[in-house]
Amino acid sequence: MKFTHAGVRARRAPRRRRAETPLVPARTLLAAIGAGGGALVVLWIAQGVRPSSAADAFGAGARLAGLSAGYGLLVLVLLTARVPAIERGLGAGRLVRWHGLAGAWVLPLLAAHAALAIAARAADGGADAVRATLSGTAVAAGVSGALLLALAGAVAHDSVRDRVRPFAWRTAHATAYAGVALGFPHQPQGPDVGAHAALALLWTLLHAQVAVVVLWYRVAVPLRQGFRHGLRVVRVRREAPDVVSVVMAGRDLHLLRAEPGQYLRWRFLDRGLWWSALPFSLSAPPGDGTLRVTVRIVGERTARVARLRPGTRVQASGPFGAMTARRRTRRRVLLIAGGTGIAPLRALFETLPGGPGDVTLLYRASDASGLLLRGELERIATRRRARLHYLLDPPDRAPGDPLSPERLRALVPVIHRHDVYVCGPPGMTEHAVRALVRAGVARHHIHTESLT
C-alpha cells in the first residue's frame, strides 16, 4: 500500500538546538577499554612470568585471570551506569551486546582464577588445596561475590530470563553490585596490584570512580530530574488493541535536551511499576511542556502502563540513544520502521530538516491494522511533501518480500545516496540492514535501533 502526496511547497521543519551532551564513539570507547586491558597484561608481565614449575605456571595463570576478571567487572559496571555520553555514542542495541559479551567473558575468567589458584596450591604440595586457598576473610568475600555474579549471569541467559518474573530478574541483577563490592577487598591483596602501594591506590581509585558514576547516573540524576520537572501523566490514549500512547506534562522540559529519535527510562510511581525504569522512545517531538511515548502491551508491566491514571507521578532519566539527527550526513534520508519502532521514527519524520522529497518513511506491518499513528504520519507527509509508503504482507500469502533490495530500489530512487534509519523488532531490523546493503547503501550510512 502506498500513500503519495502533492500540494504546495513544504515548510521545512524548524532546526532544533542540538543537545550539548557529548558522546563517546564506539571506536574510542573500544580503544580505551583495549588500552586498559593491555596495561594489565604489561603489569602482569612486569611482575615476572617465568614459571619454573607447575605451581608457578598455575599461579601465573590465576593472576592473569584474576586481573582480567577484575578489570572486566569494571567495564561491565560502567556499561550499565547509564552514562549519557556512552549510551549516545554506542546506541542501545550495541550497548546491550557489549554488556552481554563482557559478562560472558567475566564469569569464565572468575571460574578460571579460582580453579588455577587451587591448582597452584595443590601443585605446591598443599595437603588441603581448597581449604588453604579459600582461607581468609577477603577470599571468602570474593567467593561470595563470585557466586552472586554467577546467579545474575544465569538469570540473564535467554533460556532462563523468559521463565522468571521481571522483579526476580531485576533483583538478581541488583545483587550483582553486591557481588562486585564483595570481590573488591581480595583484589588489592594480589601479588600484582598489592606489590606496590601506588598500584593498589590506583586500583582502589578506579573502583571508587566507577561506583560514584553509577550512584550519580542511576540514583542522583533520576531523583534530581524528578524534582526538577515534576512529570505527571496527563492522559493515556488507545492507539490499537495492544498499543497505547502516554502523554506526560512537566516543567522546564527543555532542560532535558531530549531529541527526536531518543528514548528515556521512565519510572511510573504507581503500584507494580515504581521499582522498574522502563525504556520507551519519544513518539512525538518534545514541546509545549509535554512528552509522549507509545507502548505496546507485551507483559505485566506494560499492561500496568496502559492502566495508568492521570496525575500519576513520573520520574525520567536520560535522554539516551544515538539514533538522532546528529547521525545524518546526507541531504536525503530514508526511515524504515516496524511495529512500535515507528515511535522514534515518527518524531524524526516530523523534525528532520529537508525539502520536498528529501525524507522518505517506509512503514513495515503485516496488515493495515498494524499501522500505528497512521493519521499523524499522513498529515506530516502531506504538510512536508515527504514520501510515505506502507509495506504490508502480500495478500493471500503471495510470494514477495516487501523489504527486498529490488523493492527498496523501486520505492526509493538513488537509495545509495541516502542516510538510513531503521528501528523495529530485531529480526526485521537485521533483514532490513541486509537488504539495504545489497541495494547499495554503505553500512556506515545505516543507523539502527532494535526493540528487544
pLDDT for res 428: 83
C-alpha dihedral sign at 310, 311, 315, 319? positive
- Verdict on whether the full-model pTM lies above 0.85: no
| Domain 230-320 fold | Elongation Factor Tu (Ef-tu); domain 3 (2.40.30)
Phi, psi of 181 (to 5 degrees): -65, -40
User: What's CA 224's distance to the chain center, in Å?
Assistant: 22
Q: Round to whole Å and give the CA distance between 255 and 258.
A: 8
Considering the chain, what percentage of its residues have pLDDT values greater than 70?
77
pLDDT for res 18: 42
Q: Round to whole Å and give the CA distance between 390 and 216.
A: 43
pLDDT for res 165: 66
Among 288, 240, 253, 246, which Cα is nearest to 267's? Answer: 246
**DSSP labels for 63-120?**
HHHHHHHHHHHHHHHHHTS--HHHHHHH-HHHHHHHHHHHHHHHHHHHHHHHHHHHHH
The Cβ of residue 215 has, within 10 Å, a number of other Cβ atoms equal to 12
Select the CATH number that applies to the domain covering 2-9+324-450 from these four: 3.40.50.80, 3.20.20.100, 3.30.750.24, 3.20.20.80: 3.40.50.80
Q: CATH topology of 2-9+324-450 equal to that of 230-320? A: no
pLDDT for res 40: 67
Confidence of residue 304 (pLDDT cuts 50, 70, 90): confident
pLDDT in tens, 323-373: 778 888 888 889 998 888 888 888 888 888 888 888 889 988 888 887 888
Q: Round to whole Å and give the CA distance between 24 and 385.
A: 35
Sort 241 into a burial class: Cβ within 10 Å, 0-12 / 13-18 / 19+. exposed
pLDDT for res 5: 35
388 pLDDT above the threshold of 70? yes
Computed over every residue of the chain, the mean pLDDT equals: 77
Specify the long-range contacts of residues 210-215, CB closer than 8 Å, at least 24 apart: 210/74, 210/77, 210/78, 210/81, 213/78, 213/81, 213/83, 214/77, 214/80, 214/81, 214/177
Domains of the chain, residue spans: 2-9+324-450, 26-195, 230-320
Specify the long-range contacts of residues 221-227, CB closer than 8 Å, at least 24 apart: 221/317, 222/265, 222/267, 222/277, 222/315, 222/316, 222/317, 223/315, 225/256, 225/315, 225/316, 225/317, 226/267, 226/313, 226/314, 226/315, 226/316
Most confident of the following: 4-8, 46-50, 115-119, 314-318: 314-318
Considering the chain, what percentage of its residues have pLDDT values greater than 90?
0
The larger pLDDT score, comparing residue 398 to residue 387, is at 387
286 pLDDT above the threshold of 80? yes
The residue ranges of DSSP E strands in 258-331, in sequence order, are 263-268, 278-281, 290-296, 313-320
Q: Round to whole Å and give the CA distance between 247 and 291.
A: 6
Confidence of residue 11 (pLDDT cuts 50, 70, 90): very low
